[in-house]
Amino acid sequence: MMLRSTPFWSLCSQSIRHRVLPLSSFFIHRRTIKTLPSFSLENKTCVVTGSARGLGKEFLTAFALSGARGACIDLSQKDCEASIASIASQVREAYPNDPVPELRAYECNATIESDVKSTWAKIVEDFGKVDVLVTAAGIVDNVEAENYEYTRGSWLFARESGRHMIQHNIQGSIILIASMSATICVRPQKQAAYNTSKGAVQMLAKSLATEWGSRGIRVNSLSPGYMKTDLIKGLLENEGKELVGSWERDIPMGRMAEPHELRGTIVWMASKFPTNPST
């Protein structure tokens, strides 16, 4: 396939080559109230797969709001460009007097090794280095086991990231997105392939953390519970209130989480604050 990389500043008149300061009660503007320097992502490059929508987009948004440059990776170049345009708009709205960090779009199928290798090479060429990888590509679906390759995407990108960080002596952070289904079987879903893949992602993170920890590379997995992403909203619209009720009855707080509620978590995991290689 033809690899295309589009910098967002080619899509609008405003340049977005620089950093922006953090947002919200967790990320206070440094001109008013200081926060811990170890939480800063300024001058960092963060790569997020599956970031054209859903949790991946939320993670890339959190990184941009925290000062990091970002690479948006997904199956569609058009969707990636729309995602970084939306993220840049949120950053400008939050900090109208500050420049927006550099954001680039990359079309890539995370399950195809040649795609992953060429995309990673292009990212390194464009940004010079990568400090953080988040693998958020994937979808909840009931498919035949032989067609279920979402663990493959996590492995391929983690491998390229690990090689890059070791070669350039970067003490970075790799975050593999798993699920609560990695450790528990939720009812009434029949999704053995999905559960198995997420369990594999969790063990992959533990294994890589053990192997690469001596190089200062932190590898962790994040296991969200029920999240009200656009994908889940569409599912709930089709399945109706009965399914929503069955899920929410099993949640202690009585509701599903909103994607933005994970922003603080992902920034903490990407930052220098948790220094243990397997937190």
Q: Which residues are catalytic?
A: 179, 194, 198
User: Beta strands 5-7 and 103-107: pairing type?
Assistant: antiparallel
Strand order in the sheet with 69-74: 5-7, 103-107, 69-74, 45-49, 132-135, 173-177, 218-222
Separation of CA 231 from chain center? 16
Other beta carbons within 10 angstroms of residue 176's beta carbon come to: 28
Residue with tokens 């559960």: 195
Alpha-carbon distance of 255 to 166, in angstroms, equals 42
* Angle, CA 155 vertex, CA 150 and CA 156 arms, to 5°: 100
Give helix 150-167 / helix 192-212 axis angle, nearest 10°: 10
> Contact, 16 vs 88, CB < 8 A?
yes
Question: CA gyration radius for the chain?
Answer: 18
